[in-house]
Amino acid sequence: MNRKPVVRVCVSPALYELYKQAEGITVVVDILRASSAICTALEHGISEIIPVASIHEAKTFMGEDETIIAAERGGEVVDGFKYGNSPLSYINNKEVKGKTLVLTTTNGTQAIDAAKNDGDLVIGAFSNLNVLAEWLVKENQDVMILCAGWKNRLNLEDALFAGALVNELLAAGFSYDIDSDAAIMSQVLYNEAKPNMIKFLENSSHRNRLKNLHLEEDVEYCLQLNTCKVVPKLVGSVLKNVAKVTAH
């Protein structure tokens, strides 16, 4: 491209129509916890992930060989499923090695579903921040960060991740979207939160929802930077790791 690539931030799927791009790369983020779980599962041995929007669709994979099916709604594992959306459940777990993961979640897989037909789609989380930023810089295309939020409401943790990724891309020569201040807003938030993100999120909506479900450990894990070396990219309807270097 002859001009500098642009980085945009869409803070809610409800605004997606305003930001969607026919070309370029969409980064779907749902820090608590879908995008963190996707990166972690691929890092720790799941071979590929099929994100699906509905529980009904997830159920159609039941009985398939070498497949794990995971379903989360409202932060909890859906009745009848063994796995939900906890990234920790995919770490040091022999049962998941080499398997295909079919995943449906409250917001994250809905955001993937909304953007899946518009240009390339990859998954971002604090866990793959650096490797993703390096990959995006090499691709040299416009980037739109789509925050999954909570039921179309903005949430802080996705905006913080957007700010962290905007920092990285601007440092590498990307420019702001001249039509929106969402990228600048995300940066301001992240730079303020960076010294202690867990404290910054003390009163935040989904952190407290997960706290009430005794999932504080998940929250702490999801806020750690660069624990994974994967770039999950949607190829057809399947998320595959396209990062050259992996931990395996």
Q: Is 13 one of the binding residues for ligand MLT (CB under 6 A)? A: no
Q: Is 12 one of the binding residues for ligand MLT (CB under 6 A)? A: no
Task: Tell me if 82 sits within 8 A of 62, measured CB to CB.
Answer: no
Task: Tell me if 230 sits within 8 A of 90, measured CB to CB.
Answer: no
What token pair was written down for 62?
């039941």
What backbone phi and psi angles, to 5 degrees, belong to 62?
Answer: -60, 135
Q: What kind and span of H or E run contains 240?
A: strand 238-241
Stretch that binds ligand MLT, among 25-33, 45-53, 91-99, 167-175 (CB under 6 A): 25-33
Q: How far is the CB of 128 from ligand MLT (least distance, A)?
A: 16
**Residue nearest ligand MLT (C-beta atom):** 105
Q: Is 207 one of the binding residues for ligand MLT (CB under 6 A)? A: no
What is the DSSP secondary-structure string of 196-225? GHHHHTTT-HHHHHHHHTT-HHHHHHHT-S
Q: How far is the CB of 178 from ligand MLT (least distance, A)?
A: 31
Q: Residue with structure tokens 């940066």?
A: 187
Stretch that binds ligand MLT, among 32-40, 43-51, 195-203, 226-234 (CB under 6 A): 32-40
Instruction: Return the residue of 24, 108, 124, 163 that touches ligand MLT, per CB under 6 A.
Output: 108
List of residues contacting ligand MLT (CB under 6 A): 30, 32-34, 72, 75, 85, 105-108, 210
